[in-house]
């Protein structure tokens, strides 16, 4: 198929500089194009297809829901899939997080978290609090509220005049630091930047702090030292600000636990979920909040926020079946086991090739970074365009991986290797 010769598609979605083939079928960890060429979905799309493609249990649940109803407006009817999914989601959350608000994607989940946090401040007589501190680099979504939290000029640049930017602190990129501190000491130092920023902004103006417990595309699967998570939690409690976790990418089993927060026993006030939550079977996300936060807002007159498609019965039926599959197939355990193997294999490559400067992540949220000097983690010169060459080379050999040219605004070439959580040990060999 000669795509270069065909006219550009009118669907603005397909704006990629690199034309791609038409998709055909997808099953398990594989996708075939319309010409029958097979690809390994080595990044689960954009870290979405966690339970793999073509899962029959999910397809059956969707077919049977479709036969009943695909839409009933939430102000006119409650629907069973949404009720059951809310209960199942709450049962997978840390204690007390059992108020679930459904949305259609990650940006909407983050927007909803921002709105609930702000309304909670107003409802509890703390109108002066409106700032949510986030990290740089980071990605929290492309709608204007989520973009104000996002630390990535590439995404926010053109919209600066329209944004009310939120304060940012550096993400804990401890692996880049060259000093005499231990990793744990560096973790504390980065966490203390949150305290400094709260003091700088004025503690009475700060509503919350948002972070991805394991970083996504902006930082390339960044994991902080344990000390970071402990100290950040202490600081949030000390200043009475909400801890909001963006688990849009790291949630739904991707890191080997249902929430990445569980690795550090974090007790967030609000969590944003999407991507693996419906694993690509339907546009779905959720904001999950502590009971007393949501109840205070409801008692003060209700949550002033909503989307037409929120709680859509078909999307919720898909999400419910996806969560059932994550449990039935024990995908958190598989993500841990296969993730360890894949991490070991990637680390083996690092030992062989000096231009692989770092391999990191948790479970099956993994990334590696290319550098010109591993000792100082010097980025490759821009002209090399390593991320394009590597991604294209892999693509031409039937492997899809996900790359970012920058670590947010910082220089660096990192590559996400995040196959579906159903990936077997043999398939790790195939990916390698």
Q: Which of residues 39-68 bind ligand PLP (CB under 6 A)?
A: 46
Q: How far apart are the C-alpha atoms of 241 and 244, rounded to whole Å?
A: 9
79 binds ligand PLP (CB under 6 A): no
Q: How many residues bind ligand PLP (CB under 6 A)?
A: 15
Options 41, 111, 197, 212; binder of ligand PLP; rule CB under 6 A: 212
CA atoms within 13 A on the CB side of 128: 5
Cβ at position 416, least distance to ligand PLP in Å: 10
Whether residue 260 contacts residue 335, with contact meaning beta carbons closer than 8 Å, is answered with no
Strand partners, 315: none
Tell me whether residue 132 or residue 356 sits nearer to ligand PLP (CB atom). 132
User: DSSP per residue over 183-235, as a string?
Assistant: HHHHHHHHHHHHHHHHHHH-GGGEEEEEE-SB--TTTTS-B--HHHHHHHHHH
Cis peptide before 367 (omega within 30 of 0): no
Tell me whether residue 141 or residue 187 sits nearer to ligand PLP (CB atom). 141
Tell me how far apart the 2 most distant CA atoms of the chain are, in Å: 64
Tell me whether residue 94 or residue 137 sits nearer to ligand PLP (CB atom). 137
274 binds ligand PLP (CB under 6 A): yes
Options 79, 107, 233, 423; binder of ligand PLP; rule CB under 6 A: 107
246 binds ligand PLP (CB under 6 A): yes
111 binds ligand PLP (CB under 6 A): no
141 binds ligand PLP (CB under 6 A): yes
Tell me whether residue 46 or residue 390 sits nearer to ligand PLP (CB atom). 46
248 binds ligand PLP (CB under 6 A): yes
Cβ at position 418, least distance to ligand PLP in Å: 11
In angstroms, the Cα distances linking 96 to 92, 110, 261, 263, 302 are 11, 19, 14, 18, 20
271 binds ligand PLP (CB under 6 A): no
In angstroms, the Cα distances linking 28 to 35, 40, 429 are 19, 9, 16
Q: How far apart are the C-alpha atoms of 257 and 339, rounded to whole Å?
A: 12
86 binds ligand PLP (CB under 6 A): no
Tell me whether residue 123 or residue 362 sits nearer to ligand PLP (CB atom). 362
Cβ at position 56, least distance to ligand PLP in Å: 25
Options 106, 208, 408, 419; binder of ligand PLP; rule CB under 6 A: 106
Q: How far apart are the C-alpha atoms of 257 and 97, rounded to whole Å?
A: 16
Tell me whether residue 420 or residue 427 sits nearer to ligand PLP (CB atom). 420
Cβ at position 283, least distance to ligand PLP in Å: 8
Which residue number places its CB atom closest to ligand PLP?
106
Q: How far apart are the C-alpha atoms of 322 and 278, rounded to whole Å?
A: 6
97 φ, ψ to 5°? -90, 90
Whether residue 281 contacts residue 58, with contact meaning beta carbons closer than 8 Å, is answered with yes
171 binds ligand PLP (CB under 6 A): no
In angstroms, the Cα distances linking 14 to 11, 19, 20, 381 are 6, 8, 9, 29
Cβ at position 141, least distance to ligand PLP in Å: 4
Buried b (16+ CB within 10 A) or exposed e, 153-174: eebbeeeeeeeeebbbbebbbb
Give the binding range for ligand PLP (CB under 6 A) out of 61-69, 210-218, 305-313, 409-417: 210-218
220 binds ligand PLP (CB under 6 A): no
Positions in the binding site for ligand PLP (CB under 6 A): 46, 105-107, 110, 139-141, 212, 216-217, 246, 248-249, 274
């Amino acid at each position: 198929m000669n795509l270069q010769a065909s006219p550009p598609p009118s669907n603005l979605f397909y704006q990629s500089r690199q034309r791609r083939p038409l998709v055909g079928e997808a099953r398990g960890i594989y996708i075939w194009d319309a010409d029958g060429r097979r690809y390994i979905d080595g990044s689960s799309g954009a870290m979405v297809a966690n339970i793999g493609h073509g899962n029959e249990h999910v397809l059956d649940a969707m077919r049977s829901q479709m036969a009943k109803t695909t839409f009933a407006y939430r102000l006119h009817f409650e629907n069973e899939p949404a009720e059951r999914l809310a209960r199942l989601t709450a049962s997978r959350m840390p204690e007390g997080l059992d108020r679930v608000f459904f949305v259609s994607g990650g940006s909407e989940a983050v927007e909803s978290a921002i709105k609930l946090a702000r309304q909670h401040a107003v409802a509890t007589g703390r109108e002066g609090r409106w700032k949510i501190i986030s990290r740089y680099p980071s990605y929290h979504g492309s709608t204007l509220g989520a973009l104000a939290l996002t630390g990535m000029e590439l995404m926010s640049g053109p919209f600066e005049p329209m944004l009310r930017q939120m304060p940012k602190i550096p993400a804990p990129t401890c692996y880049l630091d060259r000093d005499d501190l231990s990793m744990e000491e560096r973790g504390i130092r980065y966490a203390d930047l949150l305290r400094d920023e709260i003091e700088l902004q004025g503690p009475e103006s700060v509503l919350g702090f948002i972070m991805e417990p394991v970083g996504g595309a902006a930082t390339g699967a960044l994991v902080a030292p344990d000390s970071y998570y402990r100290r950040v939690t202490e600081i949030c409690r000390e200043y009475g600000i909400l801890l909001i976790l963006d688990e849009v990418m790291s949630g739904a089993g991707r890191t080997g636990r249902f929430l990445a927060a569980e690795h550090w026993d974090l007790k967030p006030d609000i969590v944003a979920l999407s991507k693996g939550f419906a694993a690509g079977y339907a546009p779905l996300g959720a904001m999950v909040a502590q009971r007393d936060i949501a109840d205070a807002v409801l008692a003060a007159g209700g949550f002033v926020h909503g989307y037409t498609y929120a709680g859509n019965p078909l999307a919720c039926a898909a999400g419910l079946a996806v969560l059932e599959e994550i449990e039935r197939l024990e995908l958190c355990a598989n993500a841990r086991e296969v993730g360890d193997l894949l991490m070991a294999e990637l680390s083996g490559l690092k030992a062989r090739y000096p231009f692989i400067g770092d391999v990191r992540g948790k479970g099956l949220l993994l990334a590696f970074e290319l550098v010109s000097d591993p000792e100082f983690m010097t980025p490759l010169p821009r002209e090399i365009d390593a991320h394009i060459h590597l991604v294209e080379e892999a693509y031409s050999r039937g492997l899809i991986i996900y790359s970012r040219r920058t670590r947010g605004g910082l220089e660096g070439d990192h590559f996400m290797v995040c196959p579906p959580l159903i990936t077997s040990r043999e398939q790790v060999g195939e990916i390698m």
